[in-house]
Amino acid sequence: MAAHEPFDFSGRVAWVTGAGRGIGLAVAKLLALHGARVAGVDITTNPAMQACCARVLELDVSGYAGVEQAAQTLAAEGLVPDILVNNAGIARDGVLWKLTESDWNQVLDVNLKGAFNFLRHAVPLMRATGRGGSIVNISSINGLRGKFGQTSYSASKAGMIGLTKAAARELGRDRIRVNAVAPGMVMTDMTQRVPLEARMAALQESLLGTIAHPEDVANAVLFLASPMASHITGQVLQVDGGQYL
């Protein structure tokens, strides 16, 4: 790949959480295809993840101590990140008056605390290199607008946006850019468990008349991680086909 190619990630390291499937796997594959050494993290590993990642870790992102240990291990192996993609996420849908404390805690712990855990332990490593870098957090349009039956998920994704903007303010002086991608409905394993009527409603909302694939979101992440986005930070890029306009 030519040195002037804006999407040449040769010599760069990317950490991707939730890299085992869906959006995270698509991101890991695309970054690896463009030359990055990818450290993929998920609660369990699988052959698809192992095929595209230079290093894989089985890890619960909600555990602060576990993430701290993983960061130290990766750094010791020469895998200090230039790029961090906080993608790991779960959903425990239910209307507010039926939502359990356990479901609420699980969603916030994985989706929001998990992102904090990785930021907390990746940022000092990134700052120490002096090279700058890019952090991309995967939010959702439902963090912008809310969604019936998704109070915990919407809250976690709204929190991700606030986290993104605050981190962008704190890290700009280090030339570390922090942005978020907010997908609409994406055809993933998690989406397949959504009731058919909800999927059809999302399709009707789409101005393009289609539902996104994981690769559509991965393309946005690739752009935000690249020099093409060198003057973009603190922003939320919607990848939703116009679902939430």
CB 223 within 8 A of CB 215: no
Q: CA–CA separation, 243 vs 203, rounded Å?
A: 8
Q: CA–CA separation, 75 vs 93, rounded Å?
A: 37
Q: CA–CA separation, 10 vs 118, rounded Å?
A: 23
Which amino acid does the sequence have at 171?
A: L
Question: Residue 76 belongs to what H/E stretch?
Answer: helix 64-76
153 counts as catalytic: yes
Active-site residue, from 15, 116, 118, 153: 153
For the chain, state the CA radius of gyration: 17
- Whose tokens are 């490593």? That residue is 125
Sheet order of strands, 133-138 included: 55-58, 37-42, 13-17, 83-86, 133-138, 176-183, 236-239
Catalytic residues: 153
